[in-house]
Amino acid sequence: MALFGHRGARGLLPENTLEGFASIAALDLTGAEFDVGLTADGVAVVHHDPRLNPDIARDADGAWLAPDAAPLLRERTLADLGTFDVGRLRPGSDYAARYPEQTPADGARIPTLDAVIAALSGRDLLIEVKTFPDRPGLTAPPEGIAQAVIACLNRHDALDRAVLFAFDWRVLRAAAAAAPALRRCCLTEPETVSAGPLWLDGCDLGAFGGNLPRAVAATGAVCWAPFHATLEEDDVREAHALGLAVLPWTVNAPEAFDRMIRLGVDGMISDRPDLARAAIGRAGLQVAGPGFVAAMAR
C-alpha cells in the first residue's frame, strides 16, 4: 500500500517545508503530498493557502501575522516571501491544538517547487494545485500554475514520478493540454461535489447517474482522491473496475487507517504517516516504495 506524507508530514514537522520533507526519506514513505501556488514574479512555491497562513507565519521581526493582514502569495515576490518564518505553530491556535506533537523548525521558509522536487529525489510526488473557481482573484489562473508546475517537473526530469491533483478540475484539463504524459488525479470532497459544475469543470454528475468514479474516469485522470470519510466499499470497487487508483485523504486516526485498509484502497495520504505505517504493518502489508506513481496506468 502506498503511503504519502500530507503537506510533508505536518503532524510531525512544519507543513510544506524542506525540514518537513526531509522526514519522507527518514520514514521511508512512498512519497509526499504538497500544495503549489505562484508568486507575483511567477515562481512556483509550496504553500497550502492562497494567503500566508497566520497560524504558521511570522514576519522578519518575529511577529505573528494578523489574520486580516496576511498577504496573497500572488501579491508577493519570492524574495518577499523569503522574509517570513513558517517553522512553528502559533501558540494557542486551533492548529497547534490539533498537532501537539509537531516539532518546530524555527527559520523554515516557504520553499520553491524546484527545491522540493530536488529534496524529494527519487520519491513520488503528489502535487496539488490550489485554485478557487468561486474566488478566482485569490491565485494565478489554472493554466498558469499548471504550466509552471510542468516546467519544474521537466527541469528535474520528474514527470514520471508525479501526479497532479486538483479540486478545481479545470487545472487537470489545462495540464492534459500542456503535458499529456503527466498523470492526473481528481480530488473531491462533499462541498465541491455539491457545487457541481463550478468545481468539476462543467461536469454534470447526472450524466453519470451520480456516479463519481465514472465522472473522474471520464476526465482522463488515472487516480481519484476522495475525502476518506465519504468513501465506501462500492466506490473503491467501481473505481478499480474503471482502472483508477484510489488515494483517500487525510487519514490520521487509527480507526480510519483500519477502515481504509479494509476497503482495499491503493494508498493513503496522512499527517501522521508514522502511525499509518504501523497500521499497514499490523494488517500484514508493506508500504510501497517509490515507483508507485510510475506504475499507474496512463
How many C-beta neighbours within 10 Å does residue 288 have? 19
Phi-psi sector, 48: left (phi>0), alpha (psi -120 to 50), beta = alpha
Cβ contact 266:3 at 8 Å: no
Phi, psi of 3 (to 5 degrees): -140, 125
The pLDDT value recorded for residue 190 is 96
Q: What is the bridge-based pairing of β-strands 44-46 and 31-38? A: antiparallel
Cβ–Cβ contacts within 10 Å for residue 27, how many?
16
For residue 265, the tally of other CB atoms under 10 A from its CB is 24
> What is the pTM (predicted TM-score) of this model?
0.98
Long-range CB contacts (< 8 A, 24+ apart) of 68-71? none
Q: Does domain 2-44+110-282 have CATH number 1.50.40.10?
A: no
Quote the pLDDT of residue 298: 77
Cα(87)–Cα(23) distance, integer angstroms = 14
Q: Which residue pairs, CB below 8 angstroms and at least 24 apart, start in 76-81?
A: 76/39, 76/40, 77/39, 77/40, 77/41, 77/43, 78/39, 78/41, 78/43, 78/45, 78/112, 80/40, 81/39, 81/45, 81/52, 81/109, 81/110
Asked if 127 and 34 count as a contact pair (C-beta separation under 8 A), the reply is: yes
Q: What is the pLDDT of residue 297?
A: 84
Q: What is the pLDDT of residue 257?
A: 98
Tens place of pLDDT per residue across the chain (298 aa): 999 999 999 999 999 999 999 999 999 999 999 999 999 999 999 999 999 999 999 999 999 999 999 999 999 999 999 999 999 999 999 999 999 999 999 999 999 999 999 999 999 999 999 999 999 999 999 999 999 999 999 999 999 999 999 999 999 999 999 999 999 999 999 999 999 899 999 999 999 999 999 999 999 999 999 999 999 999 999 999 999 999 999 999 999 999 999 999 999 999 999 999 999 999 999 999 999 999 998 7
